[in-house]
Amino acid sequence: MHKRIARWFQDKKNGIKRAVVTAYDHPFARFAAAAGVHGILVGDSLGMVVAGAPDTLAVTLEQMAYHTQMVARAAGDCLVFADLPFGTYEKGPEQAWDAAVTLLRAGADVIKLEGGAEMAPTVAFCTARGINICAHIGLTPQRVRQWGSFQRQGTSAESARRLQADAETLAEAGARFLVLEAVPDTLAARITRDLTIPTIGIGAGPDTDAQVLVMHDLLGLGAESPPFARRYIEGGQVMRDALAEYVRDVGSGHFPPRRKV
């Protein structure tokens, strides 16, 4: 196993938590790596937080490859995860393989895809041929057009049982990581305890092996964040203040300074 991935398994055994953040370009990935983040996810959430769309469905493989390249160049020792976007992998293992190769060539270490047991053959196919797969269950945003909104999952006993079975099936198929999104804390804790692979939670409570947050939520750059996100700084306000000062300085003649020669 890749030494950097083996560390994730070791830390899970020892109960040491790991932190993942999304990044979509070089400067943000550089900040994440310098801060000691363990993993960077080039998420298809870029369609929403960077491109301004209402969901992630319009993101293309070419866009994901472009952003993965920017991030990988700055990632240092961070493990780089990249999302397969909607429509590039659901038909089956061979379609998924082609798309995953594109993102590996762009610099990703681990390829993430959404879905439960129905994705197990694809996970097994890619894993057997040399690609590290991160599965993603619970609130899978690529299915929002079926649900109508971003709804928490696993809240009924039946849905919780299905998610737990999905987790086990995906791990048995060879997934190296599992993202649990917007599910009850108790369910995430149970799945984390049952699996030997590291779980990465978002809106899934404190008991997953790692956490992931969207960079623009963490830094307060978006107008709104999901209820579970913590805005560590109101970065948007900091930027607006700087920009307004620039506008004032240009208007008043304080910028640029007059040079002697």
Ligand X SMILES: CC(C)C(=O)C(=O)O
Q: Site residues (CB under 5 A) for Mg ion?
A: 43-44, 83
SS3 78: coil
How many angstroms separate the CA atoms of 220 and 237, rounded? 8
179 binds, among ligand X, Mg ion, ligand MHF, none (CB under 5 to 8 A by kind): ligand X
Name the residue nearer to ligand MHF (CB basis): 10 or 151.
151
How many angstroms separate the CA atoms of 194 and 184, rounded? 16
183 binds, among Mg ion, ligand MHF, ligand X, none (CB under 5 to 8 A by kind): none
Is residue 152 within the footprint of ligand MHF (CB under 6 A)?
yes
Site for ligand X in 213-232 (CB under 6 A): 214
Beta carbon of residue 47, minimum distance to ligand MHF (angstroms, whole number): 8
What residue has token string 């910028």?
Answer: 255
Is residue 225 within the footprint of ligand MHF (CB under 6 A)?
yes
Beta carbon of residue 250, minimum distance to ligand MHF (angstroms, whole number): 32
How many angstroms separate the CA atoms of 16 and 12, rounded? 6
How many angstroms separate the CA atoms of 22 and 89, rounded? 21
Among 83, 109, 166, 209, binds ligand X (CB under 6 A): 83
Site for ligand MHF in 85-144 (CB under 6 A): 139, 141
DSSP 8-state code for residue 24: -
Residues 6+ apart with CB under 8 A from 245: none
Beta carbon of residue 143, minimum distance to ligand X (angstroms, whole number): 12
How many angstroms separate the CA atoms of 24 and 75, rounded? 11
CA 202 vs CA 44, 60, 69, 105, 178: distances in Å: 15, 23, 24, 27, 11
Bridge partners, 21 (sequence order): 40, 213
Among 75, 110, 214, 218, binds ligand MHF (CB under 6 A): 214
Binding mask 139-178 for ligand X (x = CB under 6 A): ----------------------------------------
How many angstroms separate the CA atoms of 107 and 81, rounded? 9
Binding mask 173-212 for ligand X (x = CB under 6 A): ------x-x--------------------x---------x
Does the annotation mark 172 as catalytic? no
Instruction: State the first-to-last Cα distance of the chain, in angstroms, to the nearest integer.
Output: 61
> Which residues are the active-site residues?
181
Binding site for ligand X (CB under 6 A): 22, 41, 43-45, 83, 179, 181, 202, 212, 214
